[in-house]
Structures are given as structure tokens and as C-alpha cells.
Amino acid sequence: MGNRNGINIAIDIFSAAITLMIGTYLISRRNKTKENQYFIWICILNFVFILGDLSDWCCNGLGRPWYPVVLHIGQFVYYTVTALLLMVFMQYVVEYLSGYEGMPKRNVKSYHSYKNIAMIIAVLHLTGCFLTPFTGLYYVITDENIYMRGDYVLLASILPVVVYVLIMIMVFRSCSFLRMRVTIAILSFVVFPLIGQIIQNFFRGVATLNPAITLAILFIFFNIQLDRDIQHERDKQALSEANIRLLMSQIQPHFIYNTLATIRSLCASNSVRAQEAINDFAVFLRANMDFITNDRGISFEQELNHVKSYLNLEQQMFGDELQVEYDIQVMDFLVPALSLQPIVENAVQKGVRKKEGGGTIVIRTEETEKDCRITVMDDGVGFDMDILGENGHIGIKNVQRRLNALCGGTLTIESVTGKGTTVLVVIPKGGKQNEISFG
């Protein structure tokens, strides 16, 4: 028995070390997606789960004064963390499948229903854990400090079985959308622990569940998380390059030259307006420069102030030919930096400026139950929607791409030649900018 315990302890320590290394690696990567955070918690909970199991192999049947305390605490942790580990993994699978490209919305809705079912059973399981020290429901620790399974220990297996069945249902419903190795990786967290649990239930004294769970975590890490982490870094690089391209497109030499020429003229004719123009120009340039290092959302109010600085400069140059109206009903939400200004600039340069006699730009915000909306309208010359992808609208395409990547937002355009253009930006409530940093 002593040799067997030594082997079990060595297996548990090895499993704990593997789990700790994976968790440490993921934390060091600072990938703040929900999916990654859930996987980190899976590693943490599995580590604690293993510590609880070690109390059995190290202290069971031994009579030192503090061993009974360690055994009681360890077994309570072991049974309790089982529920927490399974629920976090369930949440991880739901999050992963919900965000998988091409996954039907009806599937996603059913996944959340499955999660709720498992949550109810988890609450019942945890209730049993808290009752066990007083009733011996799942286990009993005798006066001789010996761990024994309780009469109703099989009840503790209901939650794992239900979670495994629900995960299999989700995977089989989604397998036509998933890559084969992703399907196998997710199912490994069902198959490996299930085999380990069966062996451990029938052969008391053999540590198979912990290494089985660790093996499944390792399998998922190499087949899903590592790929996701690499893709996340690629996306960050692509986004950084897109940000630089967008920044360079905003700092146009002719705009700077015209602004400085206007300021020089105002210095001779109207010093007060010249000071206002210099202030607007400074705010405009600083916002553009700050943008390149900004990896978080900014308040809409900040973005709007940037836009107002730009429009003030344009009005200094073109006077009454450019009219601006604001209908701001809500400002308490976040947007990616430099997401509104390129839209407004496009309305000025390609809409109002090209119309004889100029025109009006309207900026409006409103709030719905699910999102915040920004509308930019102009009554300029409009354009043919078929040329939207051509060079003249690259800036808008970059904004569209960044909105989707950073906060799950959308940008739609409607334009009629000779009548004007309307751009609608929709920022979902509870979107990515409210959950994680944009980096």
C-alpha cells in the first residue's frame, strides 16, 4: 500500500506541475479573451483539485495530530472543486462554440440552455458537498482518520455524467462546423476523465482521474488554445498595421498645409479666431498621435471632441459652406479610438465639399436596449454604392474592420448619388470593449 501511495503521489505532483506550467504560460501571454480566461481558471481549479486528492494519499490512515484536519479539508475541496471545474469547462465550451465562425444562432441559444441545466445540478452537487461533513453523504472520515466512501457517493457522479452528456450533444450538433481536431480535443475532456473516473470508482487506491483530466487539458491546450493564442497575436499585429495605415491616412499633408495657411491668415486678421484654430489643431494632432498607442476603448465624448476639433478647422477654412448639426442623446459608452473622425472626414471631403454651395453634416447618437448607435448623415453629392471598395473609401473599410475586431460593432453605409450619404455605427452593449482591453 505504501508503494502504491508513493506512485499516486508522484502522479498527482506531475499532473499538478503540468497544469501549473500551462496556466502560467497562458497568464504570461496576457490574452484577455473570455475563452482564455476560462481556460486559465480550468488550470487553476484542476491544480486545487489535485491538491485536495493529495490529502488522501498523504494523510489517509495516519495518526499525526494535524493529519485529520488536512484530510477533512482536502476531501471537501476535492468534491467541491469537481463542480466548479466542470462548470467552468462547460462555460469554456459554450464560449468557444458560440464564437466559432459559421455557428448557427439556434445552436448558440441551445448551448446556453444546456449550461443552465448543468448549473442547476451543480448547485445540488455543492449542497451535497456542504452536507457531507455532517451526514456522510459522499464520504466519511473515521476516528482512525480513514477515508471511506459514503452510502450515496454515486450521487457525486451525477454532475460529471450530465456535463459529459451535454458536452457531447453540443459537439455532435456542431461537428459539421468544427475542424476534426477541435472536435476530438473537446471530447477528450469527456472521454479521458470518464475512463479515469470509472477505473477509480472500481479500483479504490488507484489515482487515474487527475492525470486523465490533466491529459485532456494538455490535449486541448495544444489543439485549441495554442492555435488561438498564435492567431490572437497575428490579429494584434494585423490590427496594429491597420491602425498605422489609418493614422497615416488621417494626417494628410494637404490638410495640414491648408490648416496652417488658414491660421497664418487669421493671425493677421482675427487673433481670437487664430487662437481657437491653433487650439483645435493641437487637439486634433494629439488625438491622432495618442491613437497609435491606445489599446483600449475611449469614451464617445473623447471621440466626439476630436471630431469637433476637426470640424472647427474645416469650418475655419470653408466658412458657411460647411454646416454641422449635433443630436447627441447618449455619450456614456466606449468606442475604439479614431472610429468616428474618419467617417466624418469622409462626409466632408467626399460629400459636402464636392457639392456646389456646400451642405450640412448631422451627427446623431441614440441608445436601444441592446446597443448604442452613431449616425453620420450628409446631404452632399453621394456616390454609387458599387464603388464602395475602391481606394476612395479605404479609410471607411479600415474603421469597419476595427469596429468588428475590437468591440463586435458594425458599420453600414447607404448612399444615393446627388442626395447624400448615411453611415450607421452600432456598438453592442456588453461588447468586447466592456469585457477586455482592446489589446
What domains are there in the chain, each with its CATH number? Answer: 2-233 (1.20.1070), 251-434 (3.30.565.10)
Alpha helices of 105-179 — where are they, by DSSP H?
105-135, 158-174
Distance in angstroms (rounded) separating the CA atoms of residues 231 and 212: 28
Contact 107, 97 (CB under 8 A): yes
**Dist CA 27 CA 176 (whole Å):** 32
- What gap in Å lies between CA 44 and CA 23, rounded to an integer? 7
pLDDT tens, per residue, the chain with 439 residues: 456 778 888 899 999 999 999 999 888 877 667 888 899 999 999 999 999 988 888 887 776 777 888 888 999 999 999 999 999 999 999 988 887 777 888 888 888 899 999 999 999 999 999 999 999 999 998 888 888 888 888 888 888 888 899 999 998 988 888 888 888 888 999 899 988 888 877 776 677 888 999 999 998 888 877 666 655 566 666 655 555 555 555 555 556 656 677 777 778 777 777 788 787 777 776 666 665 555 567 889 988 988 888 888 888 878 888 999 999 999 989 888 778 888 998 898 888 988 988 899 999 999 998 899 999 999 999 887 766 555 445 567 778 877 877 788 899 999 988 899 999 999 998 654 443 333 3
Our CA dihedral for 66, 71, 73, 76, rounded to 10 degrees, sits at -170
Give the DSSP per-residue string, 54-98: HHHHHHTT---TTHHHHHHHHHHHHHHHHHHHHHHHHHHHHHHHH
What is the rounded distance in angstroms from the CA atom of residue 92 to the CA atom of residue 96? 6
| φ, ψ for residue 335, nearest 5 deg | -140, 155
* CB-based burial label for 116 (10 Å; 0-12, 13-18, 19+): exposed
